[in-house]
Chains A and B, each alone.
Chain A
Amino acid sequence: MAGSNEVNLNESKRVVPLNTWVLISNFKLAYNLQRRPDGTFNRDLSEFLDRRVPANINPVDGVFSFDHVDGATGLLNRVYQPSSLNEAQWGIVELEKPLSTVEIVPVIVFFHGGSFTHSSANSAIYDTFCRRLVSLCKAVVVSVNYRRSPEHRYPCAYDDGWAALKWVKSRSWLQSGKDSKVYVYLAGDSSGGNIAHHVAVRAAEADVEILGNILLHPMFGGQRRTESEKLLDGKYFVTLHDRDWYWRAYLPEGEDRDHPACNPFGPRGQSLEGLKFPKSLVVVAGLDLIQDWQLAYVDGLKKSGQEVKLLFLEKATIGFYFIPNNEHFYCLMEEIKNFVNPNC
């Protein structure tokens, strides 16, 4: 049920600043062009349209970045760091010394969104967001360029996430604090949030310590249609139709949305009870049609005895964090800053 389009457009236009509306509507349009009804994807057009930025070893606003490639797998991570207070150090990648021997410098492993299909670590929207995270949390951010669907279905994204996590954990130059450890948080928006969850589960099972998970309107779903899905379908940039498409493109062929990748606490899900799972910050946008699944996820964590904080932003739409022109953005940033505070 999409309703009359005119009504929809006016509604979404009322709740976000105009330039945000333009940005997200543009994505919506571009994505519509890329998805084919038969489930295939116009990757060439997608790559052509995506706006990208190169890494930059020169600090900009106190942040510099560089890319790292695993020669064997081709997996690329983009590393963002706060620039040194010592200007003589600018332009130099420090790969021998730890981040600090005194204080703890968190490393946030970030999984960009795009419904498992769109965007890359070097997409402009995500490069910008990661830079903001660095400044905000005084942390290192490692953005993972995981393989995307439909060319690479489940579990590729999770495998790449896990590989990236192991890489991060094994870098001596990402260590900090008196204990010389790599202090890791996982974070992601949309599909990235989903990836963060599943990588965290794997980490917990393998006894790899994660200090916290930040899930920004994470992408979850299920076979049944929830109230929020019925109510908000097509109203704020997103339709059920496209959500279904992306799950069909990501999940193994023939699977339905109760597959545990999509519905981790659903009929085929697993309890995380007793697992040393990190504390979670789950951010839900009140105008996101899949919020019922996200709230169910929060519930699932609680029932498993896990620590979770829900940040419910009633009037936020998806993508509110791309442009710093609304209250939700600043609210989110404040919460993240407190969550990643190394002194907690």
Chain B
Amino acid sequence: MKRDNNHLQPNPDPSSSSSLGGGSSAGKAKLWVEEATQQDCGMDELLAVLGYKVKTSDMAEVAQKLEQLEEVMCNVQDDGISHLASETVHFNPSDLSTWLQSMLSEFNPPSSFDPFGADGTATATALDDSFLCGPAESSTLSTLDFENNNRQHQKSGQQIFEEASCSDYDLKAIPGKAIYSQNTQTQPPTHDSSSSSTHNIVKPEKRLKSSSGSHSDIFPPPPPPAGAASYGIPSDSIRPVVLVDSQENGIRLVHALMACAEAVQQNNLNLAEALVKQIGFLAISQAGAMRKVATYFAEALARRIYRLYPQNPLDHSLSDVLHMHFYETCPYLKFAHFTANQAILEAFEGKKRVHVIDFSMNQGMQWPALMQALALRPGGPPAFRLTGIGPPSHDNSDHLQEVGWKLAQLAETIHVEFEYRGFVANSLADLDASMLDLRPTEVEAVAVNSVFELHKLLARPGAIDKVFSVVEQMRPEIVTIVEQEANHNGPVFLDRFTEALHYYSTLFDSLEGSASGQDKVMSEVYLGKQICNVVACEGVDRVERHESLTQWRNRFTSAGFSPVLLGSNAFKQASMLLALFAGGDGYGVEENNGCLMLGWHNRPLITTSAWKPANNTSPTSTITY
């Protein structure tokens, strides 16, 4: 936008301003040219800082859309507006142009355009997931296929804990789409080169090749892209801090911890040792979350100083137990499962056979709710195939099989055709697409799911790229990812330490208000293990390499994925879920450019995002020119 530099006039005549409705200028024009400067071909920076992405060159068009909408809304009846407000699903309000356009489309005549989707999703009722509580059992490896016929499975001899209470979240029916795939946008393609059209259409032979299940097909991973180190892509270096009143007294403790970490960073181990002892004393005088957090961090620092690294990997049955308690105590895992399931459910709309590949199988707690929702789908459930991937357990039990059996039982009771395969793998990077018995895309739709697993791949060079490549070969409809919203993978130890300190302080604070007793303690131990890994371990042992949404976005888009947006529907359902959970109590959902974040008192803690391979077009849609 050009400025009129008649800067000598304090109150210039507005009618002399430019036709773009430009504002008047004043004596301080020189001072503000810097601030008001907008890149001509880029985003309007002044709006960007306020959360809106509008290209300067699009500004007039966006203004026009606003005007059109205003006009239309005045002409339409009241219920037209309320319809738009309550029924319509909104996506990514930061992208003003697209958001406005989607609302305009609601009012425009195209009669066949039904934004709500005739086959809405199913309602699920609350589910008793008590049967999922058995510990891991039989040993062995990999793939054990079974169907959901009447298979008696041996219950484990001892239940480590009582069955969990009813799952208190539902996968409610979502009118309309909770997700929005930019690939299927109705805007006309504006590609210039005609050659691109042939490349964008999925080549039949490639598709068959990847899904034939033939074991002789090996797809070697592409070489890692230049510059993508496993040590982390630089983040935006935002460090949100939330203090709860008790922490004001604990601030000295925080400073001592950071001083100790700095000493470790500088390899001044004598100083570090002295400080870590001091921290021990200070911690005792604290109460609540601060004391616990400080204790865990101090222990981790001590391990690093004395080189008493924690045994790795963690005993699986213990980690299962901890995981379960964490699941029950606070909403993080529930939010993760819930939002991921919403996205998967929508992606599977209209599909007759579906296949979920779960990178984070654990006890399979995510799947009963999805299965319930599928069971209640109008028109009947699809055939549901689940491939669960997990690490091996130490006591030679086959926990994955156990989990699969339980899910099979559930499937039987709700009349969902079910197929299960468990894969034991030390690392997701050990997987190849050929192992998964993938079926043709038009026969079976695939969803890939990963909850708090992907970051572990960053510990080994090339692992994440291998996995991205394998995922692409799966030709998924959707890839749902839930990750911690933090950068614990920076190259500088002190930075990682400080980030983690604030992050886990907030997490522990959020636990304080929730259930007490064993659940809470177990959850704290669960988190404590993560803390230990972030602080005390290095190299391939340091697997808790959390990265922020911005960093994951970079990774996914570089790897050839495009975002699948989560919308206001999923947002609302997730908010309702949180309200059920201890009355909300500081938890909040936030929308961030199509992703959903769960935070505590404004501090985002985990993020759910969804993706799709960029060149993945569904068989029924082709680009024609």
A contact residues vs B (CB 8 Å cutoff): 5-6, 9, 13-23, 25-26, 29-30, 32-34, 36-37, 42, 44-45, 47-49, 51-58, 66-72, 74, 76, 78, 91-93, 95-96, 120-122, 124-125, 128, 314-315, 322-327, 330-331
Contact = CB atoms under 8 A, between A and B. Distances in A.
Interface string B230-258: 00000001111111111010011011001
A179 B531 CA distance: 43
A51 B246 contact: no
A56 B245 contact: no
Contacts of A9: 67, 70
Given A13-B63, A51-B51, A44 B26 contact: no
Contacts of B46: 19, 323-325
B568 A67 contact: no
Interface of B: 1, 10-11, 14-15, 17, 20-26, 28, 31-32, 35-36, 38, 44, 46-47, 49-52, 54, 59-60, 62-63, 66-67, 69-71, 73-74, 78, 81-82, 84-86, 90, 93-94, 96, 237-246, 248, 251-252, 254-255, 258, 498, 502, 568, 571-572, 575, 585-586, 588-591, 599, 601-604
Instruction: Give the most central of B38, B78, B254, B572: most A CB within 10 Å.
Output: B572
User: Which of B24, B73, B585, B588 gathers the greatest number of chain A CB atoms within 10 Å?
Assistant: B24
Contacts of B571: 44, 47-48
Given A18-B22, A32-B81, A42-B85, A54 B603 contact: yes
Contacts of B254: 93
B601 A314 contact: no
A74 B47 contact: no
Interface centre among B31, B245, B502 (most CB of A within 10 A): B245
Contacts of A33: 81, 84-85
Contacts of A32: 73, 81
Nearest to B54: A22
B32 A21 contact: no
A55 B63 contact: no
21 contacts: A14-B14, A14-B15, A14-B17, A15-B14, A15-B21, A18-B1, A18-B22, A19-B59, A22-B96, A25-B70, A36-B85, A48-B591, A55-B240, A55-B603, A67-B601, A76-B602, A91-B239, A93-B243, A96-B252, A315-B14, A322-B50
A52 B590 contact: yes
Nearest 9 pairs of A and B residues by beta carbon: A51-B51, A327-B26, A54-B240, A124-B51, A17-B23, A66-B241, A13-B21, A33-B85, A95-B251
A324 B571 CA distance: 32
A25 B63 contact: yes
A121 B240 CA distance: 14
A33 B73 CA distance: 10
A249 B237 CA distance: 40
A56 B238 CA distance: 5
Contacts, number: 211
A26 B589 contact: no
Contacts of B85: 33-34, 36, 42, 45
A36 B591 CA distance: 22
Contacts of A48: 90, 93, 568, 571-572, 591
A51 B94 contact: yes
Given A26-B96, A67-B603, A17 B21 contact: yes
Given A45-B90, A49-B93, A125 B24 contact: no
Given A25-B63, A54-B240, 9 more contacts: A14-B21, A15-B14, A22-B47, A23-B52, A45-B86, A48-B568, A68-B245, A96-B252, A330-B32
B50 A330 contact: no
A52 B499 CA distance: 20
Contact of B602 (A52, A95, A325): A52
A67 B70 contact: no
A4 B253 CA distance: 64
Nearest to B28: A330
A329 B478 CA distance: 46
Contacts of B1: 17-19
Contacts of B74: 5
Nearest to A323: B46
A67 B602 contact: yes
Given A52-B590, A325-B32, A69 B14 contact: no
B497 to A, nearest CB: 11
A317 B258 CA distance: 48
A32 B103 CA distance: 13
A115 B11 CA distance: 30
A17 B241 contact: no
Nearest to B58: A22
A331 B572 CA distance: 41
B245 A57 contact: no
A327 B66 contact: no
B516 to A, nearest CB: 15
A120 B586 CA distance: 14
Contacts of A15: 14, 21, 23
B31 A330 contact: yes
Given A16-B23, A19-B46, A47 B35 contact: no
A19 B586 contact: no
Given A18-B20, A76-B601, A93-B251, A324 B51 contact: no
A72 B46 CA distance: 38
A21 B601 contact: no
B239 A58 contact: yes
Contacts of A57: 239-241, 502
A323 B50 CA distance: 9
Contacts of A76: 601-602
Contacts of B21: 13-18, 21
A29 B14 contact: no
Contacts of A44: 568, 571-572, 575
A54 B502 contact: no
Contacts of B502: 57
A26 to B, nearest CB: 6
B550 to A, nearest CB: 12
A55 B604 CA distance: 10
B132 to A, nearest CB: 31
A91 B90 CA distance: 37
B395 to A, nearest CB: 42
B238 A58 contact: yes
